[in-house]
Each structure stands twice: as structure tokens, then as C-alpha cells.
Amino acid sequence: MHYGLISGTDIEEKYSGLYAISRVTVSTANVLRRFKKFNAGREWKDQIKPFNFYLVGFQAVEENGKAVKPLMSFSSDPQKVVYEPFIDYETGEIKEGSHYFKPLSRTIGQYVEHPEHKFNGEVGILERKHVHADGVVYIGKEANNIDEQELNVKRSQEFINKQEIMKNIFNISQKEAETLGVSRSRFHGIKRRIRETGDLNFCTPAVRRLMKKFVC
């Protein structure tokens, strides 16, 4: 559109008969919370539950001051569901009509008009804005005990050779294992697992203590 290769009319003609439909998987608590009103008062079998997945339409119509939020069962042909009854998951009411769904042409048009907040510039190849961190907030479980770990951005990523690690563990004496804080029974259990399964769980405290002897 910017370079005049297509026009708004071209987009309207091509996409006005299609609708913006998304698949939603209830994979987090935040997503499940969106259906709190819908689930209220319903039996468990009739509720939207974790790890269910559905189709949702982009809201295009308001009724009584509230946006209608179309919710449909999953279909391999999402465009057909706009002509079938759906549930407004904001109110739980059954509604029907394609006018409740946002045309894809309008979605594309709004994308073109949407300002880009992460870049500097208006037209052409934009430049990334510089970000200056003024604090750190720990989130999620991306790392264990992250506040106890040294931040060393110059150190290259290391890949551990599991077979070599297991071989080295067999070369550790019982006395050395106890010096590293691993009991006799635990040490024998680790070696027995290696012999029986050919595998090793690096996440256990005992294994991590043993690895300190030969992993920097």
C-alpha cells in the first residue's frame, strides 16, 4: 500500500469475505480466567477446562455497552463457523450472525495504521529503539536460584558430555564422594542407576556435588 502496488480497495475486495478467527488453547491460568463468567454456575462437564482448545472471533460488535466475544468449538475450517450459532463467552448467550465477526480486511487495515512503538521512524526501514534497563525483576522459573548465580555475559555457552560425566563418576572413590557431601548409599545408588539404565539425572543435588570435581 505504501509503494502504491495495492490499494485499500484491493485488500477490501480480497479479504472482506474472510474473518479474523484464532485458536485459543487454555494453557495458562490467565487464559482460563477469561472464561470465569462463562464457567460460573455450570457443572464441571459443561465448563471450559485447562488444555481445552476453541476458536474465538475478534470482537466487532457491542450490545448493551459490552463487546460480543464469539466462542466456537474447534473446526478444521474456521471460516465456516461464522455462519453457525456461537456462544458469547462474556454473557454465555447463544448468538448467530457473521456481523459479529471482524472481517479480515479490517484487521489488515488496522495493522497498517497501527503505530510501531518498538522502532524509530515512520516510513521505510525503521531503526530499533535503544533500551536502557533501570532494574531487574525475576519472573517465572527460567533458572533455579537465579539470585545465587553469577552473571557472566562474556562466558561462552558450555555443552556437557553426559557419557564422559558418567565415566568420571565411576572413577571417583567413595572417600572423595563423601568429601563432596554424597553419602555412601547415595553414591552407590547413582552408580547403580548408570549401570542399569545408562542414564543420569543431572538435576539431583548429589549428582551436582559429584560433578563439581570435574566440571568447572
pLDDT at 153: 44
DSSP 58: P
Mean pLDDT of 143-154: 46
pLDDT band at 159 (very low <50, low <70, confident <90, very high): low
Which range is least confidently modeled, 5-9, 18-22, 109-113, 135-139?
Answer: 135-139
pLDDT at 157: 46
Stated pTM of the model: 0.51
pLDDT at 84: 92
Element (H, E) at 209: helix 205-211
pLDDT at 181: 87
In 2-137, DSSP assigns E strands to 21-25, 53-57, 62-63, 66-67, 70-73, 86-88, 93-95, 119-120, 127-128
pLDDT at 83: 92
